[in-house]
Structure 1
Amino acid sequence: MPDSTDFVSTEVTFSGDPVALRPVDEIRITTLVDNVYDGLLEDGPFTTRETFGRASEPSPQFEGGRTEVGLLGEHGFSSLVTVRRGTEETTLLFDTGLAPRTMVTNAERLGVDLHAVTGVVLSHGHFDHTGGLAGLLDLLDRRRLPVLVHPSVWTRRRTTAPGQAVFELPTLSKTALADEGCAVIERRDPSLLADDCVLITGEVPRTTEFEKGMPPFHQAWVDGAWHHDPAVIDDQALVVNLRGQGLVVLTGCGHAGVLNIVKHAQRLTGVERLHALVGGLHLGGRSFEPTIAPTVAALAALSPTLVAPGHCTGWRAQQALATAFPAAWVPSSSGSTHRLVGA
């Protein structure tokens, strides 16, 4: 397992010139954890689905004493990302899901060897993206594991939604991660990984008029008191420049706003073309419904080839995206693999 100096190949302080993100020949994004698992989804031009027949478990109610099992779904997100440049491949994890064992269970059922990952990138500190670290570290027997985060990932947060009990979110512990064998790397600025083939955006500037962030009941503990936390400033995304095709953008929740994220990726790389958008877009719930129409309209102007939103995108936004992108939109599901190849 590489240490932190191997994992982050280049630290970037963006000054306006494009960062030296090297084009890749192929990217494969396997969704290890999403809110749903649908064993009846069909393959598409870029996406293969996990159905049944790969994994089984003992069950005495069936002839032969076993039954087939699919994958687990939960309110969380995790992706395995593999990039190839020539004959060289690198694999990393982007987020780890909610529960300690969901991600590793799904990886086992998919036949994915998590020992091959070079490190972990956390999109932000919310527990539905970080909870699977415990199961991963158990699997790896506490071997040294690079984990790249924004410095605000340790922020204590809570929700005070009307009509609901106050809920303090589990807060990630830097000390605990270090004790468990993680080599924690804190970067506010962008970082290049995988021999400069993968860009992590770092902190994303908020520039659009309509992406206003979290509602007032999402709060952070700052300077000894609870305050509205609209920005979730630790939110960051993963970006790859697919040779001859354009940018592939992977989000966790997209708290920065998906258009803010895409625009930032374009500024950082100097590449205008958006080829694919995968991951959570956080457009679910009444607080975000006014954002759906302008988001879909702005994305439509970019004409991506693949749109695979999941996790916190919300059913109304999914419906709008499916309508706007009849050829590009695909539903997300645990076990889906999106394979994109350069031109």
Structure 2
Amino acid sequence: MCDTSQSSTAEAALSAPRLAPGSAVDPIALEPVDEVSITVLMDNTFDGLLPSDAHTTRAGFGPPVPADHFAGGTTAVGLLAEHGFSALVTVRRGQQRTTLVFDAGLSPTGILTNADQLGLRFDDVQGVILSHGHFDHAGGLGGLARRFGRRMPMTIHPFAWTPRRLNIPQRPFEMPTLSQKALIAEGFDVIERTRPSLLVDGSVLITGEVDRTTDFEHGMPAAHEAHLEGRWQHDPTVIDDQALVVHLRGQGLVVLTGCGHSGVINIVRHAQRLTGVPTLHALLGGFHLSGPAFDPVIPPTVAALTSMNPHRIVPGHCTGWRAQHALAAALPDAWVASSSGTTHHLVGA
């Protein structure tokens, strides 16, 4: 979730960079893959006029639907966009393809509506990854479970079950809290992990808790709270935030974030340290740089990403328009506009 409240100096100190608890697994042998395909099932925007290119397939307007006020009795519709994120990730290594769902959007049916319009099925999905427990990434899990029609493993951080709220004056908002019991009943085999996990025969890495090492990514401002030890308290770290990482053969790392609450530079550097792969090929997902509280984070983030020289950068969801403009200006050859229904094709060398 996004929030625009400012932190006090004392609260900022609570979110100072720190290392994730426990021993790090370093390095991790992440098997290279030959191809990665990432379809954005849901994002905050949909643009039916964006052109496709050699590495990007855009979803245009869909088949006709009834609309009596048009002369032909029908009209075309686009895909849904909402304040949420979800992606379908397929990796290919040799002849073997594996598909995972990363996050599930905001609404119970949004990603299913978009998948149906795109002609996508979930028959070959082998697992679900939840980037963190915020409801705008978990809203469609119930609908997914029913569509799967079979039990499905889901990797999640145990802090994702924690109640949270935005304690904003005049409009406080207690976020919907995930129920582990309900998800198990829906058909998910819940796998709780705080440390890195290797999936798909060692070719997909889920980061687990991300080391906080930069001096400018301080996490969420004071209004973001979690209910811990019987009381509401500032939750700057969103410690359950984790990302998906793939090593694209001959190209480098492909990193997919949900909101990037850990800080996207922290996330990329954490992935580089874990895998021993120094090159960032592509970074996609939410960068959480929206709102006044995050304006100071934009310049050092842009500078750090520019120094990494990625081939493709696709900021979406909670990145915010100021950060989008800054990233597009600094990385014009790498920046790609995000939109619901877009498929990004990344091929190894």
Q: TM-score, with normalisation over the residues of structure 2?
A: 0.92
Task: Give yes or no for the alignment of 1:30 onto 2:39.
Answer: yes
Answer whether contact 2:264 2:287 (CA < 8 A) is retained.
yes
Mapped to 2, the partners of 1:108 and 1:55 lie a distance apart of 11
Mapped to 1, the partners of 2:318 and 2:44 lie a distance apart of 8
Task: Give yes or no for the alignment of 1:119 onto 2:113.
Answer: no
Mapped to 2, the partners of 1:329 and 1:46 lie a distance apart of 13
C-alpha offsets along residues 271-313 of structure 1, whole Å, 9 cap, x if unaligned?
0000000000000000000000000000100000000000000
Correspondences of 1:1-150 after superposition (within 5 Å)? 15=24, 17-52=26-61, 54-141=62-149, 143-150=150-157
AA partner of residue 153 (structure 2): P
C-alpha offsets along residues 101-125 of structure 1, whole Å, 9 cap, x if unaligned?
0000000000100232111100000
Mapped to 2, the partners of 1:121 and 1:214 lie a distance apart of 22
Mapped to 2, the partners of 1:45 and 1:286 lie a distance apart of 36
Answer whether contact 1:16 1:267 (CA < 8 A) is retained.
no
Q: Counterpart in 2 of 1:4?
A: none
Mapped to 1, the partners of 2:123 and 2:95 lie a distance apart of 20
Answer whether contact 2:50 2:58 (CA < 8 A) is retained.
yes
> Secondary structure of 2:273's partner?
helix
Mapped to 2, the partners of 1:281 and 1:44 lie a distance apart of 24
Offset of residue 60 of structure 1: 2.4
Mapped to 1, the partners of 2:219 and 2:206 lie a distance apart of 20
Q: Counterpart in 2 of 1:159?
A: 166
Offset of residue 205 of structure 1: 1.1
> Secondary structure of 2:293's partner?
coil
> Secondary structure of 1:71's partner?
coil
Mapped to 2, the partners of 1:100 and 1:269 lie a distance apart of 35
Mapped to 1, the partners of 2:208 and 2:24 lie a distance apart of 14
Equivalent pairs counted in the alignment come to 328
Q: Which runs of 5+ in 1 are unaligned?
A: 1-12
- Percent identity between the aligned chains? 63
C-alpha offsets along residues 11-56 of structure 1, whole Å, 9 cap, x if unaligned?
xx9655321210000000000000011001112342121112x433
Answer whether contact 1:283 1:291 (CA < 8 A) is retained.
yes
Q: Counterpart in 2 of 1:7?
A: none
Correspondences of 1:323-342 after superposition (within 5 Å)? 323-342=329-348
Task: Give yes or no for the alignment of 1:279 onto 2:285.
Answer: yes
Answer whether contact 1:55 1:70 (CA < 8 A) is retained.
no
Answer whether contact 2:89 2:102 (CA < 8 A) is retained.
yes
> Secondary structure of 1:138's partner?
helix
Equivalent residue in structure 2 for 1:297, among 299, 303, 312: 303
C-alpha offsets along residues 137-157 of structure 1, whole Å, 9 cap, x if unaligned?
23234x211111011110100
Offset of residue 70 of structure 1: 1.2
Answer whether contact 2:146 2:186 (CA < 8 A) is retained.
no
- Cα distance 1:14–1:111, how it changes in 2: closer, same or farther (>3 A)? farther
Correspondences of 1:165-176 after superposition (within 5 Å)? 165-176=171-182
Answer whether contact 2:142 2:183 (CA < 8 A) is retained.
no
Mapped to 1, the partners of 2:23 and 2:275 lie a distance apart of 10
C-alpha RMSD over aligned residues? 1.2
Task: Give yes or no for the alignment of 1:269 onto 2:275.
Answer: yes
Correspondences of 1:308-323 after superposition (within 5 Å)? 308-323=314-329
Q: TM-score, with normalisation over the residues of structure 1?
A: 0.93
Offset of residue 61 of structure 1: 2.5
AA partner of residue 151 (structure 1): P
Answer whether contact 1:191 1:199 (CA < 8 A) is retained.
yes
C-alpha offsets along residues 51-81 of structure 1, whole Å, 9 cap, x if unaligned?
12x4332222234433222100000000000
Higher alpha-carbon deviation: 64-73 or 197-206: 64-73
AA partner of residue 149 (structure 1): I
Mapped to 2, the partners of 1:57 and 1:184 lie a distance apart of 38
